[in-house]
């Protein structure tokens, strides 16, 4: 194993683990307030990419305008799903795993809608010329990778500051730590959940656009990335940002090594085998936060 | 008539399948998504044994049930560590792993 290969694999791991961290963080913002797995988050990722394709290639708007429109529309989509389905099910006091199955159903319906409208083949909004990329110590890194690393770091810092500093963010934290106490203090759980859905979906659609800029889009792309993000979240434990980063790094390192030594087909299986091992030996993840979910 | 027979076969298969899921989800309260994997293990075992070794259904069917049950027992040792949403995600993961193993195995059935 020579040094240029090592640099290359580190660059790839950094790029894909940052995408997983972004999706995982956006998923976690929603999960902490609502306490159920929002599987149709995966379709928000796909919608971000496909709306950008629709506006920039088929309607001929500029790329920045279509990206902004795509982020807004994906956010609106997830808010519609929340107010039409999840809020209704929450009012019925259904158990959390029923809502998970409902969200899986929403995911399948919306994914088939995308397949109907755009077709199952790979689409791309890349109109710029494909360049060779910069050489860093024998390894190659492309413009898109550099831009996405920069954008993700900025987005993560901004959203972290938003959650920690602003009033809306503090309300989200209050609702996620204790629902009944926060409603006693006059914080509307419904509005706060809507805010958390909006923040999470906007971040997820940004991730979708960045993935599509790197590796193009298919209607099923969101689900795999979402499941990686969920695995990273469970490995890291539902704690602070640093545990999330640790979980995502472990996951992507294992995936890239298995793709190198075995085959790239084994990347999915590696993720789940790691998940099984972690849930067996360390059910609370790195952070060790005791969740009710993992207790028996 | 042919179509009605086909319909009846499909109805019977789904009845067994939903009944088996009902035993897991109804009594334990945990929904397992790994069921599709065990369904696949049963199908593959029967098909591989009857095409490669020429066994009749009366031998291959109990064999498939036994193998699927043994694998499910091993997997359940991992899966009972979790409850609720985590259980669903874990069983979904197990299902994906079984699916990938089928997809990547070189053995041809037909």
- pLDDT tens readout for residues A140-174: 788 888 888 999 999 999 998 998 899 988 888 88
Which two structure tokens, joined as six digits, stand for A93? Answer: 């006091």
B81 touches A: beta carbon within 8 Å = yes
Chain B residue with minimal CA distance to A96? B85
Chain B residues lying within 8 Å of A100, measured CB to CB: 85, 88
Query: Does A128 have pLDDT greater than 80?
Result: no
| Residue-averaged pLDDT of chain B | 85
Predicted pLDDT of residue A1: 64
User: CB contact, 8 Å: B99 with chain A?
Assistant: no
pLDDT value of residue B106: 64
Q: What is the ipTM of this complex?
A: 0.73
Q: Quick one: average pLDDT of A76-82?
A: 91
Query: What mean pLDDT value characterizes chain A?
Result: 85
Domain map (residue ranges) of chain A: 13-124+140-218
Distance CA B86, CA A275 (A): 10
User: What is the distance in angstroms between the Cα of B35 and the nearest Cα belonging to chain A?
Assistant: 15
Segment A12-15 long-range contacts (CB within 8 Å, at least 24 positions apart): A12/A256, A13/A249, A13/A252, A13/A253, A13/A256, A14/A149, A15/A145, A15/A148, A15/A149, A15/A214
**Residue of higher predicted confidence among A294 and A234:** A234
Q: Is A262 on the interface with B (CB under 8 A)?
A: no
pTM tops 0.90, yes or no: no
Q: What radius of gyration do chain B's Cα atoms show? A: 16
Beta carbons of A27 and A204 less than 8 angstroms apart: yes
Which has more pLDDT, A139 or A245? A245
Chain A hits for B101, CB-CB cut-off 8 Å, are 269
Exposure string of A81-113, with b = 16+ CB inside 10 Å and e = fewer, is bbeebbeebbeeeeebbebbebbbebbeebbee
Say yes or no to pLDDT of B108 above 60: no
* Per-residue pLDDT reduced to its tens digit, B62-86: 889 999 999 989 888 888 877 777 7
B107 touches A at CB < 8 Å: no
> Taking the C-alpha atoms of A233, A24, A228 and B74 in order, what is their torsion angle to the nearest 10 degrees?
20
The model's confidence at residue A291, banded by pLDDT at 50, 70 and 90, is low
Q: Distance (Å, rounded) from C-alpha A220 to C-alpha A108?
A: 10
* Yes or no, beta carbons of A269 and B96 under 8 Å apart: yes
């Amino acid at each position: 194993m020579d040094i240029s290969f090592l640099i290359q694999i580190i660059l790839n791991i950094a790029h894909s683990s940052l995408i997983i961290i972004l999706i995982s963080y956006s998923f976690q913002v929603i999960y902490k307030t609502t306490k159920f797995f929002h599987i149709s988050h995966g379709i928000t990722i796909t919608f971000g990419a496909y709306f950008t394709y629709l506006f920039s290639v088929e309607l001929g708007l500029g790329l920045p305008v279509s990206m902004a429109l795509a982020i807004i529309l994906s956010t609106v989509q997830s808010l519609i799903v929340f107010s039409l389905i999840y809020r209704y099910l929450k009012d019925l006091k259904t158990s959390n795993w029923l809502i998970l199955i409902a969200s899986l159903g929403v995911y399948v319906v919306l994914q088939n809608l995308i397949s109907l409208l755009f077709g199952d083949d790979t689409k791309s909004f890349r109109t710029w010329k494909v360049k060779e990329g910069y050489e860093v110590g024998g390894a190659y890194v492309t413009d898109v990778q550099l831009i996405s690393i920069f954008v993700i770091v900025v987005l993560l810092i901004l959203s972290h500051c938003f959650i920690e500093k602003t009033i809306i963010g503090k309300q989200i934290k209050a609702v996620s730590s204790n629902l009944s106490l926060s409603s006693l203090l006059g914080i509307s759980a419904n509005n706060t959940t809507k805010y958390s859905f909006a923040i999470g979906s906007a971040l997820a659609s940004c991730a979708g656009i960045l993935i599509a800029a790197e590796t193009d889009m298919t209607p099923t792309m969101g689900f795999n990335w979402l499941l990686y993000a969920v695995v990273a979240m469970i490995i890291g434990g539902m704690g602070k940002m640093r545990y999330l980063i640790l979980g995502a790094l472990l996951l992507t390192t294992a995936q890239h090594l298995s793709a190198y030594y075995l085959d790239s087909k084994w990347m999915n299986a590696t993720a789940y085998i790691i998940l099984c091992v972690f849930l067996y030996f360390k059910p609370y993840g790195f952070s060790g936060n005791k969740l009710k979910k993992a207790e028996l | 008539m042919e179509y009605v027979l086909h319909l009846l076969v499909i109805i019977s298969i789904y009845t067994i399948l939903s009944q088996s899921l009902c035993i897991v989800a109804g009594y334990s309260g945990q929904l397992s998504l790994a069921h599709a994997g065990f369904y696949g293990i049963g199908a593959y075992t029967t098909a591989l044994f009857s095409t490669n070794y020429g066994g009749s259904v009366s031998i291959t069917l109990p064999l498939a049930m036994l193998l699927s049950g043994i694998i499910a027992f091993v997997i359940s040792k991992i899966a009972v560590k979790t409850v609720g949403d985590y259980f669903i995600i874990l069983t979904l993961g197990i299902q994906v792993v079984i699916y990938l193993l089928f997809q990547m195995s070189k053995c041809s059935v037909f």
